[in-house]
């Protein structure tokens, strides 16, 4: 069966803007987030407290958080890789963070400058200290389906990394298809290999056009939280073959068609996507936004 309700976890301001060639002004980022909240989003991943040299696009994380118009009932999680990042987030009064692990050795080295094993030494004190401070922690696992250097990722390897993160006390585990190579059968097999599908979210990049099909497979397997980005912008600067995320508007169109409640206003999402596209100087990549623009 399918769920009656789905939580859309919006990653546009973080995953989307981390991969833009141009640096987006902090005022535009703050307005973007405001518009997303206005469209009904209850969880908006705002930015990253990573090393500013590694992701210069998000080097203004402090300034952005100072400008956020926080609304009651809306969560604004931020990415945090290590204790330095946690210190920065705590100084800004953040109450939800996300750590991000790799399922593969090569991507752990490229994205985190760590080995598959030593990434946990980095995350353990982050999660422990966050929880002590009343901060909720989400965890991502990247390269869950395949990796540009190592090929297909074994299901057992993803489950081992993921269960270990859940064991640290993370409230949710988002399964990342960083380079978009997953297909629905693989999605079902991966989700079924976990002991608690209710703690899983899915994070599909749409490189091979599989993101909506994969999402449907995940919903049928019991997942009720789906990551998406405005217009489908996004990618990972440390995985060249990564392209954009599943577009929020395309996801909401499908869910609406299935009669699944999201609490989101599609017209406002489309208007925000068009507004952002103008700021980025190119059309929204979302198929739904393009189709609606033609009337």
Catalytic residue numbers, as ranges: 236
- Region near ligand HMG per CB under 6 A, out of 25-33, 45-53, 131-139, 214-222: 45-53
Binder to ligand HMG among 32, 37, 46, 48 (CB under 6 A)?
48
Query: What is the nearest approach in angstroms of ligand HMG to the Cβ of residue 166?
Result: 16
- Region near ligand HMG per CB under 6 A, out of 74-82, 162-170, 216-224, 284-292: 74-82
- x-or-dash pattern for Mg ion, window 12-41, by CB under 5 A? ---x--------------------------
Binders in 198-257 for ligand HMG, by CB under 6 A: 203, 205, 236, 238
Q: Which is nearer to ligand HMG, 82 or 286 (CB)?
A: 82
Query: What is the nearest approach in angstroms of Mg ion to the Cβ of residue 107?
Result: 12
Binding partner selected for residue 190 from Mg ion, ligand HMG, none, CB under the kind-specific 5 to 8 Å limit: none
* 142 contributes a contact to ligand HMG by CB under 6 A: yes
Kindly report the three-state secondary structure assignment for every residue of the chain: CCCCECEEEECHHHHHHHHCCCCCCHHHHHHHHHHHHHCCCCEECCEECCCCCCCHHHCCHHHHHHHCCCCCCCECCEECCCHHHHHHHHHCCCCEEEEEEECCHHHHHHHHCCCCCHHHHHHHHHHHHHHHCCCEEEEEEECCCEECCCEECCHHHHHHHHHHHHHCCCCEEEEEECCCCCCHHHHHHHHHCCCCHHHEEEEEECCCCCHHHHHHHHHHCCCCEEEEEHHHCCCCCCCCCCCCECEHHHHHHHHHHCCCECCCCHHHHHHHHHHHHHHHCCCCCCHHHHHHHHC
């Amino acid at each position: 069966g399918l769920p009656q309700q789905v939580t859309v976890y919006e990653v546009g301001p973080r995953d989307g803007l981390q991969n833009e060639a141009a640096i987006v002004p902090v005022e535009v980022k703050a307005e973007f987030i405001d518009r997303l909240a206005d469209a009904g989003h209850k969880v908006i991943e705002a930015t990253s407290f990573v090393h500013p040299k590694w992701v210069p696009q998000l080097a203004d994380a402090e300034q952005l958080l100072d400008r956020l118009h926080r609304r009651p009932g809306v969560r604004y999680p931020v990415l945090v890789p290590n204790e330095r990042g946690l210190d920065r987030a705590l100084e800004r009064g953040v109450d939800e963070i996300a750590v991000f692990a790799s399922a593969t050795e090569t991507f752990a080295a490229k994205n985190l400058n760590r080995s598959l094993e030593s990434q946990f030494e980095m995350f353990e004190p982050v999660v422990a200290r966050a929880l002590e401070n009343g901060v909720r922690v989400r965890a991502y696992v990247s390269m869950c389906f395949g990796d540009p250097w190592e090929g297909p990722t074994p299901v057992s390897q993803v489950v081992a990394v993921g269960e270990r993160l859940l064991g640290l006390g993370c409230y949710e585990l988002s399964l990342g298809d960083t380079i978009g190579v997953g297909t629905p059968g693989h999605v079902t097999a991966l989700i079924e290999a976990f002991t608690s599908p209710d703690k899983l979210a899915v994070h599909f990049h749409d490189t091979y056009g599989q993101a909506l099909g994969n999402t449907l497979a995940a919903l049928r397997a019991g997942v009720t939280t789906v990551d998406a980005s405005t217009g489908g912008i996004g990618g990972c600067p440390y995985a060249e073959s990564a392209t954009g995320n599943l577009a929020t508007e395309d996801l909401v169109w499908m869910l609406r068609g299935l009669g699944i409640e999201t609490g989101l206003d599609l017209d406002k999402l489309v208007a925000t996507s068009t507004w952002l596209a103008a700021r980025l100087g190119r059309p929204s990549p979302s198929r739904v936004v393009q189709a609606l623009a033609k009337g």
